[in-house]
Amino acid sequence: MSINTRLAAQVAGMLTRHGFDVTLQQGSSETGGDFDPENPTWTDLTTVKAVWDNPRNQVKGLNDGGAASMVSRRMTIAYREDLKATEEAIGLRVVVNGVPSNVLAVSEIGSKVGLRLMLDAGTEQ
């Protein structure tokens, strides 16, 4: 049994036992137009099973001369051909229990086994 086959079984089992439903949404910039470009409308793409990979991770730094921090989280979902590269996932967000988080990056787990999503869980100033 190859490492990738064992990894695929572990990811599938983890999602089956511990997974929860999340909704992937894509933003549309057409609605905002010239008057409201910062507020796109969101369209549901699909609902998938996911698990959290880590507790919230806080990164501290400076923002406009003042202290600020960014909170990020990572989650694992099953492999999807349409999300395999970060460029394809930018502009998406994940909704968990009604709370949206922007997708910042995507990395592939194994060879077409799963995807790890890095999410922006908010900023604090």
Task: Report the chain's mean pLDDT, rounded to a whole number.
Answer: 79
* Side chain identity at residue 19, one-letter code: G
Which pLDDT score is estimated for 51? 92
- Asked whether the CA dihedral 28, 29, 33, 39 is positive or negative, the reply is positive
pLDDT recorded at residue 123: 47
Higher pLDDT, 85 or 109: 109
Mean pLDDT value across residues 50-59: 72
Contact (Cβ atoms closer than 8 angstroms) between residue 107 and residue 115: yes
Query: Would the pLDDT of 91 be above 60?
Result: yes
pLDDT at 62 over 80: no
Strand partners, 26: 43, 92
pTM of this prediction?
Answer: 0.74
Q: Where does the chain show beta strands of DSSP type E?
A: 20-28, 41-52, 57-63, 66-78, 92-96, 99-109, 114-124
